[in-house]
Amino acid sequence: MSQLHTVNKSPLDRNALESAVLHATKGSAVLMIEDGVYGAMQGTSKSSIVNNAMGDVSFYVLGPDLKARGIDEDRVIDGVEIVDYSGFVELVAKHATTQSWL
C-alpha cells in the first residue's frame, strides 16, 4: 500500500508541497488542504510542482477549503481531483500511512 501525503501550506509561502512531491513515490497520493489548496491553482508561479508530477502521483484537493478561499473549481489544475470531507476520510483509509507536510 502506498502513502497519502497531506499538505496544508501555500506553495508560494513554504516549500511543503515541493518537498512532499519530491518524497512521494510513484503511485502515492498528495492531498492539498487548508492553505495548501493554493497549490492546486492553475497559472501560478508554483503550478509546475503539480503539473510536473502528474501521472506519477495522484493529486487531490479539498473542495471546502477551495470555496473558503474563493478559488473557483475551473481554476484548479486539470487532473487534480476535488474531494469533500468524506473523500478525505476515504483517502486516509485507503492508504497505509498518512504523512502531514506541515
Partner 1 sequence: MSDVKKFLYVNRKAPYGTIYALESLEVVLIGAAFEQDVALAFLDDGVYQLTKGQATEEVGMKNFSPTYKALGDYDVNKIYVEKESLDARGLTLDDLLPLTYEDEDDDWAEKDSIRVVSAAEMAEIMDQADVVLSF
**Does 43 help bind partner 1 (rule: CB under 8 A)?**
yes
Beta bridge partners of 101: 7
Q: Which of 4, 35, 49, 57 contacts partner 1 by CB under 8 A?
A: 35
Q: Does 17 bind partner 1 (CB under 8 A)?
A: no
Q: 37 in helix, strand or coil?
A: helix
Q: How far apart are CA 69 and CA 64, in angstroms?
A: 9
Q: With binding defined as CB under 8 A, does residue 60 bind partner 1?
A: no
Instruction: State which of residues 2, 71, 87, 99 lies at the interface with partner 1 (CB under 8 A).
Output: 71
The three-class DSSP label of residue 85 is: helix
Judged by beta carbon, residue 28 or residue 41, the one nearer partner 1 is 41
- Least distance to partner 1, CB of residue 7, Å: 11
Based on the shown chain and the rule CB under 8 A, indicate whether residue 6 belongs to the binding site for partner 1.
no
Q: What is the DSSP letter of 39?
A: G
Using DSSP's 3-state secondary structure scheme, residue 94 falls into: helix
